[in-house]
Amino acid sequence: LAKTTQPISMDSYEGQEVNITCSHNNIATNDYITWYQQFPSQGPRFIIQGYKTKVTNEVASLFIPADRKSSTLSLPRVSLSDTAVYYCLVGDTIGYSTLTFGKGTMLLVSP
């Protein structure tokens, strides 16, 4: 499984756009990139998944450059409730998928 590297923590203010970058230099051809969000004392929640270029949903955008060695999760206009840990995962979804979580990025949004 490709190893991922992301910042341990980030700080932001309400209303700002937040970009969290994840490095995955050894990503394989069949690997997808998936981001999860986890609030304290809760299970992770799926945010977004992509393979290449840009993916957007109602919550976030995911930018993946052509070489796919990194990806950036973009959260538009964050609010206090976006304070959470964000995990970047890389894995092969062909066959079956057992997710491998790192330590994630702790995002703290302040007023």
Partner 1 sequence: NAGVMQNPRHLVRRRGQEARLRCSPMKGHSHVYWYRQLPEEGLKFMVYLQKENIIDESGMPKERFSAEFPKEGPSILRIQQVVRGDSAAYFCASSPDGQDGEQYFGPGTRLTVT
- Interacting residues with partner 1 (CB under 8 A): 32, 34, 41-46, 49, 87, 89, 91, 93-104
Which residue, 8 or 111, is less far from partner 1 as judged by CB?
A: 8
**At closest approach, how far in Å is the CB of 1 from partner 1?**
10
Minimum Å distance from CB 82 to partner 1?
18
Q: Which is nearer to partner 1, 13 or 39 (CB)?
A: 39
DSSP letters, the chain, are ----B--SEEEEETT--EEEEEE-TT--TTEEEEEEEE-TTS--EEEEEESSEEEE-SS-EEEE-TT-SEEEEEESS--GGG-EEEEEEEEE-SS---------EEEEEE-
